[in-house]
Amino acid sequence: MTSSSASQSVLCNADILLRIFEALKEVLSPEGTSRQRTELAQCTRVCKAFEDPAARVLWAEIGDILPLLELLPSSLFLIREGREDQDIDRQYPTYVLNKEIDPQEWERFRRHASSVRILAATSDPAGNEVSKEDEDCGYDARGHGDEDSDSEDNDDDDSEGEELDDYTAISASIWTYLMRQNAYQPLLPGIRYLEWEIDDPSSTELLWLVAPSLRRLHLGFRTIMTFPEEEWSLSIPLLFRSVIKLTPLLTHLTISSKNVPVQYIQSIVADCKGHGVALRVLELERDYPECALDHEVIWEHKFVELEDLQDLKLAVVYSQLPAYRSSELRVMEEHRNLRALTIADHSGREEVYRAFKAPNLRSLTVVHKTRLKVSAWRRICDTIASQFSSITAIHIDFRPFSPGTPRSDDMPSAAVQPLFELPNIEVASFDLRHSGFIMSDADVAAMAEAWPQLTSLSLKQPHFFDRALGLGIPALLSLARSGAKLKTVHFHSLNLSSKTFSETRNEKGLPCNQSLRSVRVRSLWNDLGEAEEFPAFCMFMDTLFPNLDVNESGDGGSGEIQGRKEWADVLHCIRESRRSRLT
């Protein structure tokens, strides 16, 4: 076969071209979705053979429904001063249809809508906006960007104003016309992941966006207009019931709400069981206390009836009702399939942890939202150790819910000591940046000794003017001495003290950890200087961890804490030292 005939065969095979464009998208993924979409949009204009497969990959993942609606330019009309919110005296742009849909435009709409696999209505799944060039292919996404950015200094994210500024309403009449035009069939027949925001309890467009192919659904609520609470409470359960009936393959359900409390979970459990939906992940709003579930309500919701549930994320509070306080605590029936549990604790009470019974749980994440005394921390940690003895991964975030509240006493090792009784811990992560608490070198030594199976350790510490409070060289020595299976370490801060280094550098028989591959440090306090002691410390590190991967430990590796210049200098010194030994 000649090269020209081989090329012709490829051009005639849509499946091969589809795989080529999927590979192109994957190759360009490090450069962001804007570059991906620009290149794919250009590919659609190269030749007729490229047009369909490149467009299918381009439209597979979109950040908003508007790009699809804009494929109907003859009918779509934007009222720039549309709906009015009388409470805050603001008007929002509103889209309507003002003409019958053009048949050619409708055919183009249906063709691209059938390619959509991911639609994230409130944020682009990849966190980037599409480029201007994509408009030539009928694509002009208006995603709101990545809302999950890691912000250290702003936990109280008051972004309501910005969200409202971006808000654009879509008239309910649009969905009515599209439903009729599509013969009352799903508008996105191949959808797999849908993120959608509901701002009106009478909204039904979700019923025409979901399809039997849907696997993951993320629902948010935002009250732009004022509606009676009773209207929400009567309308939303019916909407949930209808959606679950239409999505038999649904495995992941996330419900987030800033304005509307999550009050409808019990009906979801019953509906999933009634329609045979094997829900594996259920994630409920956790940031706002009004969305938290009472520890007694947890029992009443009977999550155990979701027999396939493997991952549960929710917020909890402690009941203030006298009848509950005086009664014996009721717990969930034994849930044998639950593997991961995330609790946002708005209570600060150990009783809420006793409401769960999961003998095969492997991962526990706890996000504390209250300021507690050391004695309260210890009671909670003691309950965790006794209630979840099977876990292999523990993640605790000690951030307070309300910034600016008075700082409580520093956290001594006695508070978390009960966790050292957990026998099978392989992954441990503690975030203390906003708590005022600290972990000491002695705490790291205790962890390394108590958890012989530990493979990953992450500690995020608050910043202090007193550098002596940070983790230092003794922590590294403990990990080299006791962390036999440790592979990755993430420290938010590390103190390289010349005094401590001089006391340890000449010790005989320094420990050597052959397993550790990655040490990542965000903030390095270094008073060793750049002369004799600094290269000596780098050689000291190379002795402790001879298999350390300096590339993985730097900015180029994967990890939750990005190393900065000072730590990069350490890694560079180790790299150069190794090169000099080879030559």
pLDDT tens digits, one per residue of 6-27: 556 656 677 787 787 777 777 7
As a whole number of angstroms, the distance between CA 191 and CA 250 comes to 11
Mean residue pLDDT across the chain: 76
Q: Of 529, 366, 383, 382, whose CA–CA distance to 435 is shortest?
A: 366
As a whole number of angstroms, the distance between CA 581 and CA 574 comes to 11
31 falls within a domain: yes
pLDDT number for residue 469: 59
26 falls within a domain: yes
Work out the percent of the chain whose per-residue pLDDT is above 90: 25
Most confident of 129-138, 322-331, 516-525: 516-525
Q: Which residue has the higher pLDDT, 502 or 546?
A: 546
Mean pLDDT score, 150-169: 48
Q: Is the dihedral of CA 313, 315, 321, 324 positive or negative?
A: positive
14 falls within a domain: yes
pLDDT number for residue 166: 61
pLDDT number for residue 259: 56
25 falls within a domain: yes
Which residue segment(s) compose the domain that 31 sits in? 9-59
28 falls within a domain: yes
For the chain, the domain total comes to: 1
Residue 438 has pLDDT above 90, yes or no: no
**pLDDT band at residue 240 under the 50/70/90 scheme:** confident
Q: Are 59 and 115 in contact (CB under 8 A)?
A: yes
Residue 33 has pLDDT above 60, yes or no: yes
Mean pLDDT score, 86-100: 73
Q: Are 466 and 490 in contact (CB under 8 A)?
A: no
177 falls within a domain: no
Report CA Rg, the chain.
28
Residue 521 has pLDDT above 90, yes or no: no
pLDDT number for residue 264: 67
pLDDT number for residue 125: 37
Q: Are 455 and 486 in contact (CB under 8 A)?
A: yes
pLDDT number for residue 169: 80
pLDDT number for residue 9: 63
Question: In the chain, what's the furthest Cα-to-Cα distance?
Answer: 86
As a whole number of angstroms, the distance between CA 340 and CA 94 comes to 42
pLDDT number for residue 186: 94
Lowest mean pLDDT among 115-129, 212-226, 272-286, 451-465: 115-129
Work out the percent of the chain whose per-residue pLDDT is above 70: 73
pLDDT in tens, 294-310: 766 676 667 778 888 89
pTM of the model: 0.80
Q: Which residue has the higher pLDDT, 306 or 194?
A: 194
526 falls within a domain: no
24 falls within a domain: yes
pLDDT number for residue 401: 41
